[in-house]
Structure 1
Amino acid sequence: MRLMWTVQPAYIHQVIVNSTHQDEFGHTNNVAYLQWLEQAAWGHSNALGLDIAAYYRLGCGCVVRKHELNYRLPTYAGDELQIGTWISANDGKLSTTRDYQIIRVADGKTVLTGQTQFVTVDMKTGKPKRMPDEFISAYQVLSA
């Protein structure tokens, strides 16, 4: 089945839902989704050459300012999911926005869409810091 992405993702992270991801309602707990989005974001960042070691070398990193998650359909143990992520905004100063789409492979349905806004901070002080050129060039906007 051909998966219908909103935007062809820059990076795709795959997950198989298991019983540890389930809540008392028998479907995937919202915390599991957030962890998977974080894994996808780090996977994409690492693929761009900006791993945690690069953040320390550059003296700055990206921290979450805001998450927005839109749960569209439940998922269950055994479901195979593909988590696509891409950069949807980068002001070249302090802010970057990353979008997500999670698709259930079995039926091609989008089960979640989301967005995270990041702010660039100094790794030692935690205060906002203008992003380095490496962030501007690596975190390129991918548009629809």
Structure 2
Amino acid sequence: MAKSGVYTYTFTVPEAAIDFNGHVGNVTYLEWMVEAATRHSAAMGWSMQRCLEAGGTWVAKKHCIEYRRPAFAHQRLRMRTWLESIEKIKALRRYEILDDESDALLAGGETEWIFVDAKRFRPMRIPDRIVASFVQGGGEEHDGDEGRQSK
């Protein structure tokens, strides 16, 4: 199925994200990706709570991150995320983390998300209303910048 619109927001790297190498640690990028997926879903009207009310929840099957350049404390970054595809029980979400000033790509990634029954944790069909919420947005940019610092 067609991909969703791109959800974009900016944030500043906090000191707490810096590892022993003096730059953002690997696990932090994964946390940012999960946060971006959660924020995008909520912006499309599907918060975690609303998904649970619909009887399901998302679980990650696979994450992949490619690091290109390091990020540092106080650097302003831009997160971009979108659904590349959405099928019967799964969605492939892509991410780009860029330097907000230079547009340099710092990291890119993807997650394969599986929609599961919230009580039995067995795969279930993604409700049509959830699918429609993402694909009807076309190629729109959704700016979710809230002026907050991310982890």
What TM-score, normalized by structure 2, do the two folds share? 0.83
Contact 1:13–1:43 (8 Å) recurs in 2: no
Contact 2:8–2:79 (8 Å) recurs in 1: yes
In the alignment, which residue of structure 1 is the partner of 2:145? none
Deviations along 1:78-125, whole A, 9 cap, x unmatched? 11000000010111x111011000110132200001001011100001
Identity of aligned residues (%): 29
Deviations along 1:17-58, whole A, 9 cap, x unmatched? 121101111010011111111111111100110011211211
Residue type of the alignment partner of 2:16: T
Moved more, 105-114 or 9-18: 9-18
Over the residues paired in the alignment, what is the CA RMSD in angstroms? 2.0
CA–CA distance in 1 between the matches of 2:12 and 2:19?
Answer: 16
How far the C-alpha of 1:135 sits from its partner, in A, is 2.0
In the alignment, which residue of structure 1 is the partner of 2:8? 12
In the alignment, structure 1 segments of 5+ residues that lack a partner are 1-6
Contact 2:4–2:83 (8 Å) recurs in 1: no
How far the C-alpha of 1:140 sits from its partner, in A, is 2.1
Is 1:118 aligned with 2:113? yes
In the alignment, which residue of structure 1 is the partner of 2:144? none
Is 1:99 aligned with 2:94? yes
Q: Which has the higher contact order (CA 8 A, sep 6+)?
A: 2
Alignment of 1:20-39 (within 5 A): 20-39=16-35
Contact 1:79–1:106 (8 Å) recurs in 2: no
How far the C-alpha of 1:59 sits from its partner, in A, is 0.1
2:35 match: secondary structure:
helix
CA–CA distance in 2 between the matches of 1:97 and 1:22?
Answer: 28
In the alignment, which residue of structure 2 is the partner of 1:130? 125
Task: Flag as ranges the 4+ runs of structure 1 deviating above 6 A.
Answer: none
In the alignment, structure 2 segments of 5+ residues that lack a partner are 140-151
CA–CA distance in 1 between the matches of 2:71 and 2:4?
Answer: 22
Contact 1:9–1:84 (8 Å) recurs in 2: no
In the alignment, which residue of structure 1 is the partner of 2:40? 44
In the alignment, which residue of structure 2 is the partner of 1:58? 54
